[in-house]
Chain A
Amino acid sequence: GDSVTQMEGPVTLSEEAFLTINCTYTATGYPSLFWYVQYPGEGLQLLLKATKADDKGSNKGFEATYRKETTSFHLEKGSVQVSDSAVYFCALGGTGGFKTIFGAGTRLFVKA
């Protein structure tokens, strides 16, 4: 079945460091790919999305490119801030029905 695998956390970075959180997927058909973010004590928010191969999603300085050849959707940010501390979930959807498959989540800590 469809699945999402993302790097285990926690990831601890200093402010202004470069961030990469790896995400790979297994899916039949042509899924849409998402990154969601969960700040402490809150629900999930959509951070960015890509709906077809080679699309790049971007928002708030974060980027991810839908790579069909490597079945990946890695999240990157050039310079993280303390306010980026949160849990990040990679997800896929649209392969059948309306279910979304979530990865395990990666907790990011950014130190001042």
Chain B
Amino acid sequence: SAVISQKPSRDICQRGTSLTIQCQVDSQVTMMFWYRQQPGQSLTLIATANQGSEATYESGFVIDKFPISRPNLTFSTLTVSNMSPEDSSIYLCSVGDKSTYNEQFFGPGTRLTVL
């Protein structure tokens, strides 16, 4: 199984600023995903991070608000831009491989509070 780390683990930010979250995996993986988990809620997929091309965003999420980079097969970043209090959530990175039937491994999450 993959080991995933995220930085920062938590942050408190001011309205209108941006935060970049890093996700590092200990092995090369095919698929990397970014999720948002609002307080007491389930996971909502933001986008699939594609290596060497633009991320694939889900309905309701746009690149200007959540730009994503994936420069190689072990690393990705998610930026939350022009933040508002509604962006306060846990942001989770996960990885998967089609050879394991869509099983996903999750990072510990980044807990973001926007004031």
Please indicate which of the listed interface residues A93, A94, A99, A104 has the most CB atoms of chain B within 10 Å of its own CB. A99
Q: Which of A11-19, A39-47, A68-76, A78-86 contacts B (4 or more CB under 8 A)?
A: A39-47
Count of chain A residues with a beta carbon within 8 Å of a chain B beta carbon: 20
CB neighbours (8 Å) of A104 from chain B are 41-42
CB neighbours (8 Å) of B48 from chain A are 98-99
Report the tally of A-B residue pairs with Cβ distances under 8 A. 54
* Alpha-carbon distance A49/B98, docked complex (angstroms): 15
Q: Which of B4, B41, B102, B107 sits near A100, CB closer than 8 Å? A: B102
CB neighbours (8 Å) of B108 from chain A are 42-43
A89 within 8 A of B: yes
CB neighbours (8 Å) of A32 from chain B are 101-103
In the complex, the chain B residue whose C-beta lies closest to that of A107 is B40
The answer to whether B109 touches A42, judged by C-beta atoms less than 8 angstroms apart, is: yes
* Alpha-carbon distance A51/B103, docked complex (angstroms): 10
A102 within 8 A of B: yes
B73 within 8 A of A: no
The answer to whether B106 touches A45, judged by C-beta atoms less than 8 angstroms apart, is: yes
Q: Which of A42, A43, A46, A105 sits near B103, CB closer than 8 Å? A: A46
B105 within 8 A of A: yes
The answer to whether A105 touches B96, judged by C-beta atoms less than 8 angstroms apart, is: no
Known contacts being A89-B42, A102-B42, is A46 close to B104, with CB within 8 Å? yes
* Alpha-carbon distance A98/B48, docked complex (angstroms): 9
CB neighbours (8 Å) of B101 from chain A are 32, 49, 51, 93-94
B55 within 8 A of A: no
B43 within 8 A of A: yes
Interchain nearest-CB distance for B11 vs A (Å): 15
* Alpha-carbon distance A82/B109, docked complex (angstroms): 24
The answer to whether B42 touches A103, judged by C-beta atoms less than 8 angstroms apart, is: yes
B92 within 8 A of A: yes
In the complex, the chain A residue whose C-beta lies closest to that of B44 is A102
Q: Residues on A close to B: CB < 8 A?
A: 32, 34, 36, 42-46, 49, 51, 89, 93-94, 98-100, 102-105
